[in-house]
Amino acid sequence: MFKPEKLIFDGKRIDGRTLDQLRPIKIEVDFLKRADGSCYLEMGKNRVVAAVYGPREAYPRHIQDPTKAVIRYRYNMAPFSVEERKRPGPDRRSVEISKVSKEAFEAVIMKELFPRSVIDIFVEVLQADAGSRTACINAASVALVDAGIPMKGMLTSVAVAKVDGVLVLDPMKEEDNFGEADIPFAFLIRGDRIESIALLQMDGRMTKEEIKEAIKLAKKGAMEIYQMQREAIMKKFLEEGENG
């Protein structure tokens, strides 16, 4: 990938988006037959599938918690999902993403309702183009609703990047590679408002003031994604109602 001379031109990004515009998003609920809940999601060129299994009995037994459900989250990239073939299996990046994503869901799933059980969340990245962890969280969140898992609210995730000195919402690959900083967020949204931060990471270089601005921009984007997640879920349940 070659570095374009400028990533922002006349207030527009190289794919024609404004600074605060999301990439196109497509959400399909109940995409898989075997899983208890599932979702297919596109966010720009990201294509991800999420599946939820459970609550089910936790094995091996020593991982059981008598007070609450154990949450497992596996983020996995298909070998063909990126430019250069990715060796199958977990690398250090996937391990870290799985950990912080799991923790975000631990904070919103009402796991005390299911002692000794496990809730497995599996996400597969079929194509990645920056922001795959955020796309996966958005998909997983919908899949959890589809599986009927009680949550405190919806988890919605989006990243903000600093590119050519300005902040942009939902960066794509070029902006991620050649930008100066990247902050992925996931928010708990309850009662149609953003309540708190469930996932937060950052790498790059930003001032304190820029981080504050980034939160604002991310919140705007998250509310838009949240509406799409909601619509997709409503659509599925309405259709189900019509078909008996």
Residue 139: count of CB within 10 angstroms of its CB: 32
Encoded one letter per residue, x for contact with another protein by CB under 8 A and - for no contact, window 123-162 reads ----------------------------------------
For the record, the structure tokens of 148 come out as: 């009927």
Calpha distance 13→15 (Å, rounded): 5
Q: Which stretch binds another protein (CB under 8 A): 36-44, 54-62, 97-105, 137-145?
A: 97-105
The one among 211, 220, 224, 230 contacting another protein by CB under 8 A? 211
Encoded one letter per residue, x for contact with another protein by CB under 8 A and - for no contact, window 9-48 reads ----------------------------------------
Q: How far is the CB of 102 from another protein (least distance, A)?
A: 7
In angstroms, how far is CA 171 from the centroid of its own chain? 14
Q: Which residues pair with 25 in a beta bridge?
A: 43
For the record, the structure tokens of 170 come out as: 């939902």
Order across the sheet with 70-77: list the strands: 25-29, 37-43, 46-57, 117-127, 70-77
b/e burial code for range 142-169 (CB count within 10 A of at least 16 → b): bbbbbbebebebbbbbbbbbbbeebbbb
- Measured from the CB atom, is 5 or 10 closer to another protein? 5
Q: How far is the CB of 165 from another protein (least distance, A)?
A: 13
Instruction: Name the DSSP class of 98.
Output: H
Q: Which stretch binds another protein (CB under 8 A): 14-22, 136-144, 165-173, 197-205?
A: 197-205
Q: How far is the CB of 32 from another protein (least distance, A)?
A: 26
204 binds another protein (CB under 8 A): yes
Q: How far is the CB of 108 from another protein (least distance, A)?
A: 8
Amino acid at 6: K
Give the footprint of another protein on this chain (CB under 8 A).
Answer: 1, 71, 92-93, 95-96, 98-100, 102-108, 181, 183, 188, 195-208, 211-212, 215
